[in-house]
Amino acid sequence: MNIYRAIEQYTNEGKTGMLATVIRRLGSAPRDTGAKMFIGEDGKTYGTIGGGKLELDAIEESLRLMGKGQTEIFHIRMNATTVADQGMLCGGDVDILLEPVDKRYLELYREVGQCIEKGKRGIVITRFGPTGFSKTFVEPGNIIFGDPIKDEQLNEFQGYFDERNPVLIGDDTVVEPILRYSLLYIFGAGHVSQFISKVAKIVDFYVVVIDDRSEFANRERFPDADEIIVDSFEDVFSKLDFTGKEYAVIVTRGHSFDAYVLEEVLKRDYRYVGMIGSKRKVKIIFDNLRKMGFEEDVIKSVHAPIGIDIDAETPQEIAISIVAELIQERAKG
């Protein structure tokens, strides 16, 4: 679920929560700036800021702040000793903005959610500190939701529409651009995935690599990926957005994992889904989907065997054929 949709749902039900946003990252922390997670008052979470100890600490701190109306920049320092002692997957330093979800910003949350789903641009300006908390969403043309903002300040923020990541101004203002890149989920972190990630980044996909093995899904093997999520394929779907604009490439390490991931993707809205495999494997999986009740037009939407036919053999060639098909699908508009 779109995180802002979750916030809207909680707010409509009279419930509250905290919004966590990664606003600064140094080193090999798992998720880039801009990663978000909503923590509801019931302890449920939507989205992810990296998993593991980092995420658990942020959740714990959010629950401590819950209901107090307080905003905090939560600093997590993961030096080599900390990583080793606590069994973390990555090092690095992360700053996370923890802010209360407030019902007076219901319209703002709704508009930001729609902006993300429709691929529109905008900026969210969050101000906090001794002077209090305020939140403003600005769409192109200076259409404003939330708290008002002075004209001179609005002019200063215009340049942030084209930024990619949140920017911390001073100690009390975060400006976050809302941009919707072509979001690519790569399920599986094997050799083919490494080259898919590299080639997809060259052609402006936002690449998220997903695998349950930290020895495969890591920054050393995937230096070009925007995000790396180490989680089980069974659990990860509750943390992923599927708004109908996402691309999913399924290249896991086994037949059963491929089948499970494909089944889960087909239950959601997506732009593209492709699965690697021989014609025999694809037929077996498709026949099983039919037995499970999936409609024929849904099954036919799957690109399998995946990629444009260029007689690819090596992992590099296979990756190029897959990304070429992604480009072809994206070009359809």
- pLDDT at residue 78 is higher than 90: no
Mean pLDDT value across residues 129-154: 90
Predicted TM-score (pTM) of the model is 0.60
Q: Provide the CATH number for the domain around residue 285.
A: 3.40.50.720
pLDDT band, very low/low/confident/very high, at 30 (cuts 50, 70, 90): low
Is the domain of 130 the same as that of 56? Answer: no
**Could you tell me the residue range of the domain that residue 229 belongs to?**
182-331
Using the Cα atoms of residue 192, residue 197, residue 199 and residue 203 in order, give the sign of their dihedral.
Answer: positive
Distance CA 148, CA 163 (A): 22
- pLDDT at residue 84 is higher than 50: no
Is the domain of 92 the same as that of 141? Answer: no
- pLDDT at residue 55 is higher than 60: yes
Is the domain of 82 the same as that of 191? Answer: no
Mean pLDDT value across residues 267-291: 95
pLDDT recorded at residue 224: 87
Of 52, 70, 103, which residue constitutes the final position of a domain? 103
Of 159, 178, 197, which residue constitutes the final position of a domain? 178
Q: Render the burial of 247-276: b for 16+ CB within 10 Å, e for the rest.
A: bbbbbbeeeebbbbbbebbbebebbbbbbb
Is the domain of 174 the same as that of 187? Answer: no
Is the domain of 147 the same as that of 209? Answer: no
Is the domain of 213 the same as that of 276? Answer: yes
Rounded to whole angstroms, what are the CA distances from 16 to 23, 40, 67, 240? 22, 6, 8, 21
- 57 vs 153, higher pLDDT: 57
Is the domain of 8 the same as that of 117? Answer: no
Count of domains forming the chain:
3
Window from 216-220, 304-308, 329-333 with minimum mean pLDDT? 329-333
Is the domain of 43 the same as that of 133? Answer: no
- pLDDT at residue 5 is higher than 80: yes
- pLDDT at residue 89 is higher than 80: no
pLDDT recorded at residue 26: 79
Mean pLDDT value across residues 254-263: 95
Mean pLDDT value across residues 221-233: 92
pLDDT recorded at residue 180: 57
Q: How many C-alpha atoms does 326 have within 13 Å on its Cβ side?
A: 32
pLDDT recorded at residue 114: 84
Is the domain of 60 the same as that of 193? Answer: no
- 324 vs 116, higher pLDDT: 324
Taking the mean position of all CA atoms in its chain, how far away is CA 178? 13
Mean pLDDT of the chain: 89
Is the domain of 258 the same as that of 193? Answer: yes
Q: Which helix (H) or strand (E) holds 250?
A: strand 247-250
Share of the chain above pLDDT 70, in %: 91
Contact yes or no for 265/250 (Cβ under 8 A): yes
Distance CA 5, CA 110 (A): 7
- 1 vs 181, higher pLDDT: 181
pLDDT recorded at residue 86: 47
Place of tokens 């606003």: 23
Of 178, 198, 216, which residue constitutes the final position of a domain? 178
DSSP characters for 219-235?
Answer: TTT-TT-SEEEES-HHH
Contact yes or no for 211/217 (Cβ under 8 A): yes
Closest Cα to residue 276, out of 312, 244, 241? Answer: 312
- pLDDT at residue 333 is higher than 70: no
pLDDT of 155-189, one tens digit each?
Answer: 888 888 877 788 889 888 999 998 656 889 999 99
Is the domain of 128 the same as that of 96? Answer: no
Is the domain of 222 the same as that of 262? Answer: yes
